Structure 1
Amino acid sequence: MNLRGIQESVGSRMTRRGFVQVGYSGLLGMSLPGLLAARAGAAGLAGTGTTGKAKSVIVILLSGGLGQHDSFDMKPEAPDTIRGEFKPIQTAVPGVHFCEHLPRLAARADQLAVVRSMSHPEGNHLVAVHRVLTGHPSNPRGASDLDRVASRDDFPCYGAVLNHLRSRNDGVPNGVSLPLRLVEGPLTWPGQDGGFLGPRNDPWQLRLDPNRPEVRDDSLTLPEGLDSQRLHLRRHLLGQTSVSGPNDPFLDQQDAALAMLCNGKVGTALDLDREDPRLADRYGKHVFGRSLLIARRLVEIGVPVIQATMGIVQTWDTHVSNFPRLKDELLPALDRAVSALLDDLKLRGLLDETLVVMLGEFGRTPRVHELTPGAVPGRDHWPAVFPAVFAGAGVVGGQMIGRSDKIGAYAVTKTFGPPDLAATVYKALGVDPATELRDRLGRPLQLCSGDVIDPLYSAVDV
């Protein structure tokens, strides 16, 4: 869901005629919070019977797939065509080694739990992203997996589910996705919106320019000359001139957008000019750093689900130039930004109530190869085994969960998949994984079929 178009509708065309054209619910004299509360009451608050440890979850998606051999599951004893060019370094946990280009995370390994036996069957970006961000396979929609672009038949993402189950009326969204929607050419990557729950549950899509990360998304800034009091008064006028009925998806989106504009918390969170420049520098002056700094600020205002995508699909998709790209561009920026996030959350007393999850949609092939003769070597897609990193919200740090074989190709211990990841995220947020949803045809679907990754909390390896 993008605020800019809605903002322009309510800002640049804020006239009586514009209100008549846009329409409203017709609830005369009701304030915006009152209206949203009424709608939330009508929708119900299913799935809120349990309370989890986490108030927020930050999902850091390494879009394209980070190789296990070049990060958290190195194989220094394997042949050079397997182990690659990087060397392992000792972490803060005796006997545990990370890649030499992740020194900051290595120094904080006592806060991290690394699951080294994540696995699923999908080697295609589209379907793998959907699995990782929803816990469910995507539905076939064409002759090949390349046809499985985003659809309203998709299973909803974490933030969308939470919004459906726990609608709120305070102008703070249940889900935010940043910095960019996963797009490559005409393809929109699935698993990042409300899917069959509809657009009213889409997370807010915030945008940062990868080439100008210092420029903020100003879509939550009121137009010049319009303050929240005037906007509130005009909402009453809109209600009196409406001919639209309730439960209109566009109106639901507009209501939420205007609530955010009136509240101002989200806009303030996005204004990095309010942040200490020295702290911003610790995150890094790049899109990774800016994204995770914004993620921390969104946690502070109470956003429950934040997806921070570290790049678009090509970013970690290192079929070519795997080692130069990781060494010079990707791993140092990630290492700096994620370490700063962990330190920042801990210093503010937020890490104990924020679950941080970092993973790609799959791993990379054990064998290093040349995609074409003479090309700089790389690694291809490999979903059979890959790592996921967890921290905060009761996670016991300093442990490695699960193991892969001698060449990092397959797990030799129990595997965990996207359904287990989803169960872990939902349980942390206090949502029962067995909660029932209804698709667009009214068919009952269980929210999640997986099991919570218990070793994260028990420190008992499997």
Structure 2
Amino acid sequence: MDPIRENAQVETRRSFFGRAGAMSLGTVALADLLAREGIAFPGADPASPALPNGAGGLPGLPHFAPKAKRAIYLHMNGGPSQIDLFDYKPKMDEQFDKDLPDSIRKGQRLTTMTSGQSRFPVAPSRYKFAQHGKSGMWISELLPWTAKIVDEIALVKTTWTEAINHDPAVTYICTGNQIPGRASLGSWLSYGLGAMNQDLPAFVVMTPSWSSKTSAQAIYTRLWSAGFLPSKHQGVALRSVGDPVLFLSNPSGVDRSVRRRTLDAINRLNQKEYDSFADPETQARIAQYEMAFRMQTSVPELADISNEPKNILDMYGPDVHKPGTFARSALLARRLAERDVRFVQIFHRGWDQHGNLAGDLPAQCKDVDQATYALITDLKQRGLLDDTLVIWGGEFGRTIYCQGPLSRENYGRDHHPKCFPVWFAGGGIKKGVVHGETDDFSYNVVQDPVHIHDMNATILHCMGIDHRRLSFKSQGLDMRLTGVLDQNPVQAILA
């Protein structure tokens, strides 16, 4: 027999279940249509309310009425210094250049960058703090614009992680595991809840430049990867140079009608492939080709900010006019939110001040402070903040002790995973609250610790998802974003 025909006639387990009624394309399509109308699919969990869902989401999700329809995650890659920004420790002035007490350090793990130091001299923050808003939240002078929105945010001062180096730490916070290969938060939301806009991806990523002239830790596409989930749920990165998305423009000599006919022919071939082998990745390819075709119109319109009012552009600051800046990315995040993109993640690099903190940290704050304020204010005045969740934070914090030479004018700080700040605003979040407390040295949590799995459980909760009930079978395991331990949303910050 011809080898190709022989291969096509093999009845694999995957193709058998693919042809079975419960897993057929028609059934999946029917379940999606019913979910959009708020009708439960036969056999779905009766405990799950029939709530409207996005196209492509799972039947039965959301598990309960969500407070947020979409989310914007502002990730400050490198580890912002909590002591110099959000965690006011006035008693540290008396400890200048004294060794960090062993009773505080408690033999905790150090990085190789400071483990060989003979001393661990305390370096108090050189920046002034003041209370702001009705909440009286303490904020550093480095964040004057963020200080204007403290009554909109819930500040968690006691987030912690087990990871102490950048790559595993940012992989952990994005995917729920320090080892690469898992699905990212945005991919989980795309998989579970689906897309609300059929002309734009459900998950969009931006990686703006930074002002600091120092080198920054690399970030990798796996941070927005779909991992073991179908590949159509991976994040789509918007570029600041050339086409916003690679290969978005047609090649020379190819117009839109030719592109359409070409895609139709390719999709017919892919459908034949799917009919033979029922490989879900074939369906993912068809969906991605179709999305790419629609994005040829939707993405250029999204990226064109020429029609934005002057007062809005001024609010984001002068950098909004420069493609690839955080300010431009923040404005695009708002434009994506109003177009109902499910999840937007902005990675701003360079928050890794091992030395020259006095030079680099103010530059980093200036990069993001006004634009972050503008994003929250812009969403609010458009009525979008009520159902948009905004998250700001890094992968860990910084040490109270100095790395390298210490002076009152300048110093460096090493990585510190035991306590760092993350703030939330918008859909499902209380306004103007501070959760948790650290010791006088901003070194250990003394009240209300929040693991990064608890943080991700909180994000999922705001989006109407019980994190324990969103899983995917891979390598014989029921994979979850929040792992297998007993993690819980942070109820104290939920509205």
Counterpart of 2:91 in structure 1 is: 77
* Structure 2 residue 185 is the aligned partner of structure 1 residue 158: yes
Residue 294 of structure 1 pairs with residue 323 of structure 2 = no
Give distance in 2, aligned partners of 1:54 and 1:429: 5
Q: 1:340 to 1:199 in 2, by over 3 A?
A: same
- Give the residue type in structure 1 aligned to 2:494: Y
Amino acid at match of 2:339: I
Conserved? CA contact 1:220–1:266, under 8 Å = no
Q: Distance in 2 between matches of 1:218 and 1:137?
A: 28
Contact 1:261 1:267 in 2 (8 A): no
Alignment of 1:266-281 (within 5 A): 266-281=299-314
| 1:22 counterpart residue number | none
Alignment of 1:10-409 (within 5 A): 44-45=58-59, 47-79=61-93, 80=96, 81-93=122-134, 95-134=136-175, 136-139=176-179, 151-152=180-181, 154=182, 156-168=183-195, 170-179=198-207, 188=220, 190-208=222-240, 217=244, 219=246, 221-223=248-250, 231-240=259-268, 244-245=273-274, 247=279, 249=281, 252-253=284-285, 255-262=287-294, 264-284=297-317, 285=319, 287-311=325-349, 315-327=350-362, 329-370=363-404, 377-409=411-443
The offset of 1:86, in angstroms, is: 0.7
SS at match of 2:228: helix
Q: Give the match's secondary structure for 2:157.
A: strand
Tell me the secondary structure at the aligned position of residue 318 of structure 1: coil
Deviation at 1:49, TM superposition (A): 3.1
Structure 2 SS opposite 1:340: helix
Bigger Cα Rg: 2
Q: Which runs of 5+ in 1 are unaligned?
A: 1-33, 140-150, 210-214
1:93 to partner: Cα distance: 3.2
Change (3 A) 1:94 1:236: closer
Matched residue type, 1:157: S
Q: Is the 8 A contact 2:57 2:190 kept in 1?
A: no
Q: 2:488 aligned to 445, 451, 459, which one? A: 451
Quickly say closer, same or farther: Cα 1:358–1:266, change in 2 above 3 A. same
Deviations 1:424-460 (A, max 9, x none): 11111112211242343232234435211111125xx
Q: How many angstroms does 1:44 deviate by?
A: 4.7
Which digits, 9 at most, give the CA deviation of each residue in 1:149-185, with x for residues without a partner? xx43x2x11211122223448233221111269x979
Q: Is the 8 A contact 2:267 2:286 kept in 1?
A: no
Tell me if structure 1 keeps the 8 A contact 2:135–2:432.
no
Aligned AA (1:52): P
Contact 2:388 2:426 in 1 (8 A): yes
CA distance in 2, matches of 1:39, 1:275: 39
3-state SS of 1:367 partner:
strand
- In structure 2, the gaps of 5 or more residues are 1-25, 34-55, 97-121, 210-214
Superposed CA RMSD in Å reads: 3.3
Distance 1:296 1:204 in 2: 16
Tell me, in whole angstroms, the C-alpha distance in 2 between the residues paired with 1:377 and 1:186.
23
Q: Deviations over 1:274-308 (max 9, x none)?
A: 43354234323161111111111111111111111
Change (3 A) 1:96 1:259: closer
Q: Contact (CA 8 Å) 1:46, 1:166: kept in 2 or not?
A: no
Could you say if the C-alpha distance between residues 295 and 132 of structure 1 is closer, same or farther in structure 2, counting changes exceeding 3 Å? same
After TM superposition, the score normalised by the length of structure 1 is 0.77
Task: Report deviation, 1:208.
Answer: 2.6
Distance 1:227 1:272 in 2: 25
Q: SS state of the match for residue 446, structure 2? A: coil
Superposition TM-score, scaled by structure 2 size: 0.73
Amino acid at match of 1:300: E
The number of residue pairs the alignment matches comes to 401
